Structure 1
Amino acid sequence: GYRLPTVRGLAESLGLAANTVAKAYRALEADGVIETRGRHGTFVAAAGSAADRELALAAQAYVERARRLGLTEDDALAAVRDALRAAYGE
């Protein structure tokens, strides 16, 4: 939740071009490390946010693929349970 300096402010304090800092901010935001809240500024994302988003995207991709394969919801869930058991040694 820590607020980050503006792109121009950070660029000036580090002696970098504003475009360099802006590019870094965009990459960090794409990875879910930081989040931009419009005119309120840029903030460090809450702990776990990036992992939560990545997990949600992976789950959505799995659901879409399972549907393309014609799996029922029960079959798709059973496949996930089997994979989790294998991964966690249960």
Structure 2
Amino acid sequence: MNTQLSIDLSSPIPPFEQIRSQLASMISIGALSPGARLSPVRALAADLGVATGTVARAYKELEAAGLVESRRRSGTVVRASSSNSTSSAAAQREVSEAIEELLLSSRRAGFGSETILALLRARLQQEKWQ
């Protein structure tokens, strides 16, 4: 697996959740396709500078959500999803591109991750009441 995972150890979001959410997003937008192997727990933990239990917990939660499955010989792989239609994949790509643009413009403005998340949460909260 060649991913661009990153962990912010100063974030209030636990490292296992950062790993889980990044991998779940990659799976949902098709950046990790069905059958793709995830890095072994030890290797990913070493790459990210976290404990193996942290990565194992993220993988366990992804498996509980039905996004990945553990196989004895091939390790942890992305599961095929029956709900992924072509139109759904296209919509996910479109949203992913919009998110990428949001991140780029936010970074250019000098906003950190927490500020970006706070702005997005505030906007979603407004939408909830409309």
Task: Give the TM-score normalised by structure 2.
Answer: 0.36
State the secondary structure of the residue aligned to 2:73. helix
- Structure 1 CA distance for aligned equivalents of residues 66 and 82 of structure 2: 9
Equivalent in 35, 46, 58 of residue 80 of structure 2: 46
Equivalent in 24, 37, 43 of residue 58 of structure 2: 24
Q: Within the alignment, does 1:3 sit opposite 2:37 as a pair?
A: yes
Write out aligned runs for 1:51-70 (5 A): none
Decide which structure has greater helix share. 1
Equivalent in the alignment of 1:36: 70
Equivalent in the alignment of 1:69: none
1:32 maps to a residue whose letter is G
The share of aligned pairs that are identical, in percent, is 55
1:5 maps to a residue whose letter is S
| Structure 2 unmatched ranges of 5 or more | 1-34, 84-130
2:82 maps to a residue whose letter is G
Shift of 1:39: 2.8
How many residues align structurally?
A: 49
- Structure 1 CA distance for aligned equivalents of residues 76 and 52 of structure 2: 15
- Structure 2 CA distance for aligned equivalents of residues 41 and 20 of structure 1: 17
- Structure 1 CA distance for aligned equivalents of residues 82 and 49 of structure 2: 32
The higher radius of gyration belongs to: 1
Shift of 1:46: 0.8
Equivalent in the alignment of 1:61: none
Equivalent in the alignment of 1:12: 46
Find runs of 4+ consecutive structure 1 residues off by over 6 angstroms: none
State the secondary structure of the residue aligned to 1:3. coil
